[in-house]
Structure 1
Amino acid sequence: MNEAVHLHAVTKAYGPVRAVNGVHLSVPAGQTVALLGPNGAGKSTTINLMLGLLAPDSGQVSLFGGTPEAAIRAGRIGVLPQDAKLIPRVTVAELVDFVRRSYPSPLPLAEVLGLAGLTDLAKRKADALSGGQARRVQFALAMAGDPELVVLDEPTTALDVEHRREFWTYLRAFAARGRTVLFSSHYLEEVAENADRVVVISGGRTIADATPDELRGRVGGRTVSLDPDGRRPDELQRLPGVLSVSLRGGRAYLSSADSDATVQALAQLGAIRDLEVAGAGLEEAFMALTAQDRTAV
């Protein structure tokens, strides 16, 4: 199978800090791959190296067997950055049409506007849009050239639930045509539902590369969730069996290698308010993997 993305032993340092420290990544054409990593893990630098925005200190970077620059010049790549600004004082249709005309084989304007849910906003000025509307325009710009590979950095930020659902419906259809999707996201439910593979970067290195189900199974253990009742994460982190702790929606989620020991310790503390025990999810697996990596360094 042809490779859309290939990174081999890639490094990039900023002074004494190695932001990327030997990353390996191979993405066959037609796959949807999620790139995950905690803040400061080297994820954004890896994406910039992949797109030719940065030159690696060592290692190899290629897209479709050639340089990133060659793939971009040929119109084979679409990019949705995490932070992007729109040109003011032009309409949505004018902006999208201007960008699509720079590609050799773009999608029709009406199709691009339709896939991003922008048909009714075509005559709106780009600087008069809400955050979610502007994000949809940025998505339209990424897809306007009908790319073979699309790279999406936190693509559904600012989108409401309906537009997030429509976004992924289109991307699944896009991937079904043999196109390649590489995305990063903090919404791990999106990763679990849409990614063929999950690549986890921590400390500038690739620490895991597996399907979502394999990633959950690799970590093992269970998740103990409860009302923390004012207890701090560092207190809960010290309990027997606990690998990582996260707080979400007023609840504490403890990834545990020994849920029986964890629950017994909570009972001794009198901290069993609204307690639940379940199999580890993708978020718990991600937290445990990165916690184990920090411990090993």
Structure 2
Amino acid sequence: MLAETALDIRDLTVRYGAATAVAGLDLQLRAGETVALLGPNGAGKSTVVNAVLGLVPSTGTVRVLGRPPAEAIRAGSVGAMLQHGGLPGETRVGEVLHLVRRSYPRAWPLDDLVVTAGIDGLLGRPVDALSGGQRQRVMLALALAGEPPLLLLDEPTSAMDVEGRRAFWTTMRGLAERGTTVVFATHHLEEADAVADRVVVVAGGRVVADGTAAEVKSGTSGRTVSFTAAPGAALEGLPGVSATEWRGDRVQLTTDDVEATLRALLADGRRLPDLTVGGATLEDAVLSLTARTTIGVDR
């Protein structure tokens, strides 16, 4: 295994009774990457995260910076924000953070940690008085308390508003610049498209695509041609068009031959106001990649 490998997963398999949640999955991540794990409910994303943390029985091999998960966690090499994580009630934020920092052999300096996680002004606040976005920020601070080189995030922005999400991903970019490997599972595909160096699509407990967002999108056939038109305009039989979708007075055509479609549209002198031509979105690509894959459990 190369020294720059932050996470090395080989033939990972996780079963829940008769159902297989992860089926022989292989994945190697380099230090400093920001990696999005994408896929539908039941794809196995959260199970992979839990297996890396040693929270579910599994077979295969998982190494974090060359160590087994339990050893890496004890050394403070892994931080995690889980989708269903919680905070102890009837405590203050500073008390919880102090307790967690003491458990690591090398804790992140408090002042820098508070600024990095965006929890300035919250240390004296009761945990029970936090908003959803503030709780996520505190959970991030706890995940970073040991200054881990690997950060695992499961739906990290689910309770945040738009401003909170932007601030969160600004923080993630700063961590990546410091060399932290950031792995996040999300259903917010626009976030993955915007911030991930690498996109890993999981379906049926296996990796079905792995590359940059642009590479994953380029593997999806079909482009879109959209323009303003009078409702009911005759658009049948256009070459290359596989789908037509109306949104008010705007029509979107999905086509496998954008040049032939445009030539046909312009052949009779038709005007195409507000014309845009686009490629497949990351959502299109993920839906296409996972459409025919099913799994027995929702993890």
Structure 1 pair 90–9 and aligned structure 2 pair: CA distance change class (3 A): same
> Which structure would you say has the larger RCO, counting Cα contacts within 8 Å and 6 or more residues apart?
2
Structure 1 pair 70–116 and aligned structure 2 pair: CA distance change class (3 A): same
Cα deviation digits, residues 193-233 of structure 1 (max 9, x gap): 21111111101111011111101111131246799xxxxxx
Q: Which has the higher helix share?
A: 1
What SS does the corresponding residue of 1:97 show, helix, strand or coil?
A: helix
- Picking from 51, 54, 59, the partner of 1:52 is 54
Relative to the length of structure 1, the TM-score reads 0.81
Letter in 1 for 2:37: L
Whether contact under 8 Å (1:8, 1:60) holds in the other structure is yes
Cα deviation digits, residues 242-265 of structure 1 (max 9, x gap): 5xx99x9xx99886646799999x
Q: Is 1:283 matched up with 2:283?
A: yes
1:276 deviation in Å?
Answer: 6.7
Whether contact under 8 Å (1:224, 1:254) holds in the other structure is yes
Alignment of 1:30-41 (within 5 A): 30-41=32-43
1:277 deviation in Å?
Answer: 5.4
Structure 1 pair 275–158 and aligned structure 2 pair: CA distance change class (3 A): farther
Greater mean alpha carbon deviation, residues 45-54 or residues 206-215: 45-54
1:59 deviation in Å?
Answer: 1.8
Which runs of no fewer than 5 residues in structure 2 stay unpaired? 229-240, 265-273, 295-299
Cα deviation digits, residues 83-111 of structure 1 (max 9, x gap): 11111111111111211121111112222
Whether contact under 8 Å (1:241, 1:258) holds in the other structure is no
Cα deviation digits, residues 108-135 of structure 1 (max 9, x gap): 2222222222212221100111111111
Greater mean alpha carbon deviation, residues 163-172 or residues 18-27: 163-172
Q: Is 1:90 matched up with 2:91?
A: yes
Quote the residue 2:18 is aligned against: 16
Greater mean alpha carbon deviation, residues 117-126 or residues 70-79: 117-126
Whether contact under 8 Å (1:241, 1:262) holds in the other structure is no
What SS does the corresponding residue of 1:241 show, helix, strand or coil?
A: strand
Q: Distance between the aligned counterparts of 2:130 and 2:251, measured in 1?
A: 37
Quote the residue 1:183 is aligned against: 184
Which runs of 4 or more aligned residues in structure 1 lie more than 3 Å from their structure 2 counterparts after TM superposition?
223-227, 251-264, 274-277
What SS does the corresponding residue of 2:156 show, helix, strand or coil?
A: coil
Structure 1 pair 224–283 and aligned structure 2 pair: CA distance change class (3 A): farther
State the structure with more CA Rg.
Answer: 2
Structure 1 pair 33–202 and aligned structure 2 pair: CA distance change class (3 A): same
Structure 1 pair 257–118 and aligned structure 2 pair: CA distance change class (3 A): same
Structure 1 pair 177–159 and aligned structure 2 pair: CA distance change class (3 A): same
Q: Report the count of equivalent residues.
A: 270
Identity of aligned residues (%): 49
Quote the residue 1:107 is aligned against: 108
Task: Supply the RMSD in Å over aligned alpha carbons.
Answer: 3.0
1:45 deviation in Å?
Answer: 1.2
Which runs of no fewer than 5 residues in structure 1 stay unpaired? 228-239, 265-273
Q: Is 1:28 matched up with 2:30?
A: yes
Q: Distance between the aligned counterparts of 2:254 and 2:185, measured in 1?
A: 23
Structure 1 pair 101–252 and aligned structure 2 pair: CA distance change class (3 A): farther
Letter in 2 for 1:19: A
